[in-house]
């Protein structure tokens, strides 16, 4: 069972990492894209999430 927990913790750290809001934004963008079945929503949404993440990282440091 400890291997399963370690595997789950690895993926949580890999996907969420330091910025949980970026992971949540991309997950939300993926959900909206799947719900509306339009691929063109995803690239601008990911760009906005990235810009917001970079803005927070540069203004807080």
- Give the per-residue SS3 of 27-40: HHHHHHHHHHCCHH
What pLDDT was estimated at residue 19?
82
CA angle, 41 then 45 then 46, to 5°: 120
C-alpha–C-alpha distance, residues 9 and 2, integer Å: 10
What is the DSSP secondary structure assignment for residue 39, as one 8-state letter? G
What is the DSSP secondary structure assignment for residue 7, as one 8-state letter? H
Q: Is the pTM of this model over 0.75?
A: no
19-44 mean pLDDT: 90
What pLDDT was estimated at residue 16?
80
């Amino acid at each position: 069972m400890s291997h399963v927990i370690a595997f789950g913790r690895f993926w949580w750290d890999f996907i969420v990492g330091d910025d949980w809001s970026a992971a949540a934004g991309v997950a939300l963008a993926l959900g909206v894209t799947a719900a509306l079945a339009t691929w063109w929503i995803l690239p601008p949404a990911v760009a906005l999430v990235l810009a917001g993440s970079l803005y927070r990282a540069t203004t807080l440091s």
